[in-house]
Every structure is written in C-alpha cells, then in structure tokens.
Amino acid sequence: MLVEIPEPFDFELSVERYRTFGPDPVNLAMDGAFHRFLEGSEVRLVPAPCGVAVSPADRALAVPVQRFLGAEFDLDGFSAFAATDPVLSPVVAGLRGFRPTLTPDPFEMLVSSITAQQVSLRAALAIRRRLVERYGGRGAVAWAFPSRERLAGASVEKLRALGFSTRKAEYTIALAGSELDLGGLAELADDEVAAHLVALPGIGEWTADWFLARHLGRPDAWPAGDLGLRKAIARFYLDGDDPSVAEARAFGERFGGHRNLAAQYLLLGLRVAP
DNA sequence: TACCAGGTAAAAA
DNA sequence: TTTTTACATGGT
C-alpha cells in the first residue's frame, strides 16, 4: 500500500546519509528499498510515485513512516525563503525533494550522537554497528537499535570492548538508566529540551542541537558547533575560511525560522556538490 | 607514522 | 574565568 509523502520528495536524496558513511544495519538501504524498525516492527519502504510503498500489514505504521521521511517539513516555505538567498538558492534547487529523515526514537538518537562525538562518522558508525549487533535485535533484514533497558544493564568494560571510550561507555549507561522521560521532551520548547538534555553527563550543546534537529524536527534547530556544518558554511559562504562556533551560531541568524532545513541542505550540499 | 574526524568534561592556568 | 588536555577508532 502507498504511504503518501508531500511533493516534492526524493527518496534517494533523503536516505543518502545512510549510505555515505558505510553500511548501517539500523537504517538499511539495499536493493532500491529501505529497511528499519518503527514502533517495534520492521518495515520495508520502496520508493513509489507520491510516496513510498509498504506492506499492507504495515498499514498502522503510515504515520510513523511519514514522520520518519520528513513529511512534516515545510519544503515549500523553505524553498521560497531560500530563493531570497543567492548562495542557498542553487544549493536547495539542486537538492529538490530532499526531506531530512527524523530518527524515530529519542534514545537511539542520543546514543548515536554520543558515539559520533569527536570521531569521524565512519569510525562512529563502525562502533555503533558493533553495539547494535551485540545489544540490538536482529530482524529479517535490518536490526532494531538496542533498547534502553538492555543498555542500562551493560557494563563499561563490555562497551569498551566495542570501541567506546570509558567516558562514552559511562555516558551511555547513565543515560539508559536515567529517570528522564525522553519521550516527554517532545512537549517542551526548544530551549527547555536542550536544558534537560545538557544536564545529563556527556550531552552537550552539539548533541542537544542534533536531537532538536533530527529527532524532534524543530524548524529552528541549528547545530552551530557541528564541524561539518561549519565546513559547509565556509565552503558556500566564506570562501573556504572555517568559522568559529560563535561565528557559525551568529551566521545562523540569517536562516531564522528555517535553520534546521538550511543546516541539513548545506550539509547534504557539501557531500553531493560537484 | 602521524594526524584529523559532524565533542565533552575535567584539569590547569 | 578562560585555555588546555585526554579520550578511542577508522581512514588517509
């Protein structure tokens, strides 16, 4: 059956990041389809006109599928805004239909971010892959990300054996065992979400910003500390000069109201630009 | 071989 | 208060 995604929608552009940094068993793009767990069920998404096709048995997952594929992003509003920016305009036009995916589960989002702190995304993905294959759930094709309960019971030594630093292992176990209602964060304003997250050990501004951008899909999330985003700003706007974090944060002001999509288009633009 | 890579917290100044 | 350092792995 068809799950509709608003036009414009380009399936391949939207799942590009799950291919670029190496195979990801949690977000598995293969054979022209995409496999992952949503709400505890493994789904297979196949690009189709006006959306994606799923098994009739997955009818109940239509809304989670739409949310995962960024259906809620206002691409029309963003395109109109981008057209007023001579630098952003061609980047956005060249990536028409890119809908940033939203990591469906808050715990998965945070643990994935912790693994990606400081190290290259390829290194992070290699470590996360081992984590998933040790603590996650094997599906027919994809893997379910490890549950909070499962990682709460892990030990620092076991996670270290997968490539975690001692600190990251401690952060991950503490997060899993914390009392914080991660799902409840969706009810709060951006700055309140960030305040709750940053109070946890190992979660700083960068991790909180990406949580707002890639889990909650907040329109004005802007990960100013992100090295990739700073490189993209340098490449497209600053003649190659890397901005400081403070400069990158100030730079985001011009995208007010559309910072999340601006950041994600600039990052994708950096990867696929000629 | 080094050094850098989509950070963070703790030590040192 | 601001600056410096340790951290672990993968790619070049």
d(CA A146, C1' B2) / Å: 36
Convert A30-62 to b/e letters by CB count within 10 Å (16 or more is b): eeebbbbbbeeebbbbebeeebbbbeeebeebb
CB atoms closer than 10 angstroms to residue A109:
21
Q: What's the pLDDT score for residue A273?
A: 78
CB atoms closer than 10 angstroms to residue A149:
10
In 3D space, the residue among A126, A112, A215 whose CA is nearest the CA of residue A168 turns out to be A112
What residue has its CA nearest to the C1' of C7? A165
Question: Quick one: angle between helices A106-116 and A166-177, nearest 10?
Answer: 170
Q: Is the CB of A207 under 7 A from strand B?
A: yes
For A230, how many CA atoms within 13 A lie in the half-sphere containing its CB?
15
- What pairs with residue A44 in β-bridges? A35
Q: Smallest CA–C1' separation from A165: which nucleotide? A: C8
d(CA A125, C1' B1) / Å: 25
- Strand, helix or coil for residue A227: helix
d(CA A58, C1' B13) / Å: 60
Q: Smallest CA–C1' separation from A120: which nucleotide? A: B5
Residue pair A213/A262 in contact (Cβ under 8 Å)? The answer is no
Q: Is the CB of A22 under 7 A from strand B?
A: no
Residues 26-85 of A with CB under 7 A from strand B: none
In 3D space, the residue among A36, A208, A24 whose CA is nearest the CA of residue A122 turns out to be A24
**Tens digits of pLDDT across chain A (274 residues):** 999 999 999 999 999 999 999 999 999 999 899 999 999 999 999 999 999 999 999 999 999 999 999 999 999 999 999 999 999 999 999 999 999 999 999 999 999 999 999 999 999 999 999 999 999 999 999 999 999 999 999 999 999 999 999 999 999 999 999 999 999 999 999 999 999 999 999 999 999 999 999 999 999 999 999 999 999 999 999 999 999 999 999 999 999 999 999 999 999 999 997 6
Q: Smallest CA–C1' separation from A228: which nucleotide? A: B6
